[in-house]
Amino acid sequence: MTDDTAGPAIPGAPTATTVAANAAVLGHLDFSNEDDFADARRGLLAPLGPAGRILNPEGRTIWDLERFEALVAEERTETVNPSLWRQTQLLAIGGLFHVAGGIYQVRGADLSNIDFIESDHGVIVVDPLISEEAARAAYQLYCEHRGHRPVVAVIYTHSHIDHFGGVKGVIEEAAVERGEVQVIAPAGFVEAAISENVMAGNAMLRRSSYMYGQRLEVSQQGMVSNGLGLTTSSGTVGLIAPTIEITEPEQHLEIDGVEFTFMLAPDTEAPSEMLFYLPQWNALCSAEDATHVLHNLYSPRGTKTRDARAWCHYLNRTLELFGDAEVVFAQHHWPTWGNDRVRSFLCAQRDAYRFLHDQTLRLANQGLTMVEIAEQLDWPEDLGRHWCNRGYYGSVSHNVKAVYNFYLGYFDGNPAHLHPHPPEVQGRRYVELAGGPEALLAHAEGAFAQGDYRWVAEVVSHLVFADPSHQGARDLLARAFVQLGYAQENGVWRNFYLTGAKELLEPRPTGGGSPANARSMASSLSTEMLFDLLAIRLNPERSAGRRLRINFVFSDDADYVLELIHSVLHAHKGVTDDGAVATVTTSVSLLKAALTGQVQLLDELAKGTITITGDLEALLELFSMLDTPDPWFAIVEP
C-alpha cells in the first residue's frame, strides 16, 4: 500500500516515442476479447463496501480500493501501456464472489485473494491476505452475506507473506493452542516463510518499495498496479504456525466434512507451496502456480531464483490429476470456468514456463549470455496471445535471466566480467572517457531526443554515480525513467522506473528502525534463526581480533553458547561453557523482544527479567559490534 512517504505523481508528458510504443500494443493484442471481464464479474454477491477502504486501530488507511476504482473510471492516457491498463481494470473488480458449491472468494481487499470454503460446522479460510485488518474486513463481508460461520481451519497455500500475514484477523492463536482451529500448510512452510522475510528482510523491504510503487501516487502518471494485484496492504502482519503439515506428494485430508486432495509443488512459485482439489465441486485451487499473468522466476525485489522446470512439471501433474476440473481458482486474479477453458488455461501457463526454460538453455548452449538471450527471446505467437501469459508481473526478459542464473550463475564466462569495478568507480571513469560531465550529458540529450531511453538511462546513471550532486544528470535520468515507465506492460518495471525517477527528483526518506511487520516476523524466529540474524549483522571491522564466549540459559528452550571468533558468530546448542565471560538467563521470547527494539535491554536488567552474571561489558561490547541496517538505503545513486 502507498505509505506515508508517497508524494505527487512524477512529472513528464509522454513523448512521441512513448505514444508510438503504446499504440503498437493496441495493434498487437486482441483487446476485443472480453472473456476475462466476464469471469472477473461472474458470481458477484456484494461489492467490498467498507472493506474497500480499511483503517487500522489508529485510524491510518491500510487499504484503499476506491483510489483504483476512480483510476480505472478515467479514460486511459498515453502515460499507461494499454495492456497494463486492461489488467488494472480487471484487478479493480472487487467484492465477495461465489465460485462454485461452497466456495466463496473475496477479491480486491489486498494484493491477494482470500477464500472461504463452507464446511459442516463453520468455514475454512484459505490464504488470509497480508494484513490482519484486511483479512478481518473480508471475513466480516463474507459473514454479512452468508451468515456468521466460525473459522474451523486455515489453509496456507504457500510461504509468501500475502498468503498468511493476516491470519490473526480471522482466528486467535489461543484457539489454535486449544485445538479448536487447525492450521494447514505445505511441508517446510515456517522455515521458508521466516527465512525469506527476515534473513534478507531489510534489503527486500527496501526493494519492495520500488517493486510495488509504495512511494508513488495512484494515478496515470504514477502507480497503476503491479499486475499480480493492485498493491500491498500496510496493516499488521502476523504468523500462526501450522498444526498440520502436508508432507506427501499427493495427500487426502477431510477437514470438517470437506474432502481435500493436496498436491505439493515445492520450489515453484515459492519454496513451500501446494495446490488442492475439491472433488465434490470439481474445483481446483492452483494457489499461485497458475494465475492470469506471467509470474516471476526471479522477483526484482530480491528472492531465490525459482525452478522453471519444476514449475512446468507440477502444472503438468496438475493436469494429470485434476484435469476434469470444471473451475480453477487461484490466490490472485479471477477464476476460470468450464473444463475446456480450464485445461487451455493450465496448458498455456505450463507451456510458458517450459518455453522459457528450454529456449534459454538452448541458446545458452549455443554460447549466448543471459543478456543476449533476454534481448533475443520472445513468445511464439500462439503462446503470447494468451492474456494469462502477458508479462504484467514477471517478464520474458528477467525470467530468461533467472533461468540462466539458475543453471549457470551470474557470470557469463567472459574474463573481462570477472572483476568489474563498482558503480562509483565505473561512473567516474566513464565520465572521464566521455570527455567530462557536459559532453556525456550532451550525448545523452541527443539520445533522448531520438527516443533511445534505455541508452540514456545507462549512460547518465554513470554520471549520477560519479557525481550524485549533478542536478542536470539527475533530471535527465529521471526523464528517461519516466518515459521507460510509461511504456511498460510490466507493472513492476513501471514501478521501478517511476520510483527511481521520484528518488532522483526528491530527497528519499531517512532514519527509522525495523518496521513493525519485520519485528512481528522476527518474533516467529526459532532460536537458531535468531542467532543467525545476529551473525549477519556482525561488523567485521568492529569485531576484528576479538574472541569471547557467552552462555545463554533459556527458560523456554535449550541452552546455547554464543562464540565470537574470526569476526564470525557461532551458536552452539545444548551446551554451556564454564569459561564463558558472561551468562545471560532469560526467555527466548524476551531476548527476541530486546533484540528487535520492543523492550530495552537495560530496563529488563533493572526489572530482573533478564539476568547477567559475569562481564556485562563484554555483552554490551558484542551488541555494539552489530550493524543496524538502513531501511532507506540508496538505490539509484551511491
**Domain map of the chain by residue range?**
16-402, 423-487, 525-624
Q: Tell me what pLDDT residue 598 has.
A: 82
Q: Which of 12, 94, 7 is nearest to 481 (CA)?
A: 12
181-198: average pLDDT? 90
- Label residue 1 by pLDDT band (50, 70, 90): very low
Strand order in the sheet with 283-285: 250-255, 258-264, 274-278, 283-285, 327-329, 336-337
C-alpha of 35 from chain center: 28
The pLDDT-based confidence of 517 (bands split at 50, 70, 90) is: low
pLDDT in tens, 245-257: 999 999 999 999 9
- The reported pLDDT for the residue numbered 195 is 79
Q: What distance lies between CA 556 and its chain's CA centroid?
A: 33
Q: Can you say whether the dihedral through the CA atoms of 25, 27, 28, 30 is positive or negative?
A: positive
Beta strands, E only, 2-47: 44-46
- The CA distance from 311 to 406, in Å, is 13
Q: Residue 568: which region, alpha, beta or left (left: phi > 0; alpha: psi -120 to 50)?
A: beta
> Regarding the domain with residue range 423-487, which homologous superfamily does it belong to in the CATH classification?
Alkyl sulfatase, dimerisation domain (1.25.40.880)
67, 297 Cβ separation under 8 angstroms: no
Residue 125 pairs with which residues in a beta bridge?
116, 154
Calculate the average pLDDT of the chain.
Answer: 94
Give yes or no for residue 302 having a pLDDT over 60.
yes
- Over residues 387-426, the pLDDT tens digits come to 999 999 999 999 999 999 999 999 999 999 999 999 999 9
Check pLDDT > 90 for residue 50: no
- Per-residue b or e along 560-587, where b marks 16 or more CB atoms closer than 10 Å to that residue's CB: bbbbbeeeebebeeeeeeeebbbbbebe
Place of cell 506427501: 248
| 181: nearest Cα among 168, 192, 191, 172 | 172
Query: What are the tens digits of pLDDT across the range 232-241?
Result: 999 999 999 9
- What are the tens digits of pLDDT across the range 552-600? 999 999 999 999 999 999 999 999 999 999 999 999 989 888 877 788 8
* pLDDT given for residue 516 in this prediction: 57
Tell me the C-alpha distance between 523 and 194, whole Å.
Answer: 10
Pairing of strands 103-107, 244-246: unpaired
Provide the percentage of residues in the chain whose pLDDT is more than 90.
88
Return the C-alpha cell found at 526.
Answer: 526459532
Instruction: Compute φ and ψ for 9, nearest 5 degrees.
Output: -65, 155
Of 632, 636, 637, nearest in space to 209 by CA:
632
In which band, very low, low, confident or very high, does the pLDDT at 216 lie, cut at 50, 70 and 90?
A: very high
Domain 16-402 sits in CATH 3.60.15.30: yes
Residue 122: half-sphere exposure toward Cβ, Cα within 13 Å: 16
Among candidate residues 483, 481, 486, 508, the one with its CA nearest the CA of residue 497: 481
CATH top-level class of 525-624 = alpha beta
